[in-house]
């Protein structure tokens, strides 16, 4: 099953929405510290509604800790600096989609760690900065699920 990972997320409603997305798709969610909020924060609960109980959420101290848990999983990074469209990727069941913090995106060191061939972008107008994090996560995750025939989803 594809996984979503949020590197140092900052805005509770985005994480809540993504938690809801993961609950509805069965995809695990990995949160990489530091978090810009408390997981018990009211705005996170409101956005995630009662889906928190249905989502598989893991919190990791840092990126290395997440990688230790995931082993050899292939990581796809998402960035406006990517050179490949997300629709050009060939997603596999155990892949991880890694998104950066809302205000600054993934740092260059993280992009370099996984390599630019694994860095995907969502096409937008040239003068646009970025999409909302939870919208971007939904777009890319559902493309991966589509490629896998929506396995396990009704």
pLDDT in tens, 13-45: 899 899 999 999 999 999 999 999 888 767 666
Domain span at residue 74 reads: 3-147
CA distances for 22 relative to 19, 48, 83, 93, angstroms: 5, 10, 26, 15
In a domain, 46, yes or no: yes
Residues of the chain with pLDDT > 70: what percent? Answer: 94
40 part of a folded domain: yes
Q: Residue 152 falls within a domain, yes or no? A: no
CATH (domain of 27): 3.40.1280.10
Higher-pLDDT residue of 143 and 41 is 143
Q: Does 61 fall in a domain?
A: yes
Task: Give me the number of domains the chain comprises.
Answer: 1
For 19, residues 6+ apart whose C-beta sits below 8 A from its C-beta are: 29, 44, 47, 48, 51, 52, 55, 57
34 compared with 126, residue with greater pLDDT? 34
Report the run of H or E that residue 134 belongs to, with start and end: helix 133-147
In a domain? residue 153: no
Q: Is residue 154 part of a domain?
A: no
Q: Which residue has the tokens 């997320």?
A: 9
* Residue 41 included in any domain: yes
Compute the distance between CA of residue 103 and CA of residue 133 in angstroms, rounded to an integer: 10
In a domain, 89, yes or no: yes
């Amino acid at each position: 099953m594809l996984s979503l990972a949020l590197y140092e997320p900052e805005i509770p409603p985005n994480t809540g929405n993504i938690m809801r997305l993961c609950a509805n798709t069965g995809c695990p969610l990995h949160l990489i510290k530091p978090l810009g909020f408390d997981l018990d924060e009211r705005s996170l609960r409101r956005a995630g509604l009662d889906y928190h109980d249905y989502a598989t959420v893991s919190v990791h101290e840092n990126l290395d800790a997440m990688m230790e848990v995931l082993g050899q999983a292939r990581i796809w990074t998402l960035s406006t600096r990517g050179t490949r469209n997300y629709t050009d990727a060939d997603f596999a069941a155990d892949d991880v989609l890694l998104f950066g913090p809302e205000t600054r995106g993934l740092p260059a060191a993280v992009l370099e760690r996984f390599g630019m061939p694994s860095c995907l972008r969502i096409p937008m107008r040239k003068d646009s900065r970025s999409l909302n994090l939870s919208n971007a996560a939904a777009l890319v995750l559902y493309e991966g699920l589509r490629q896998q025939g929506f396995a396990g989803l009704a």
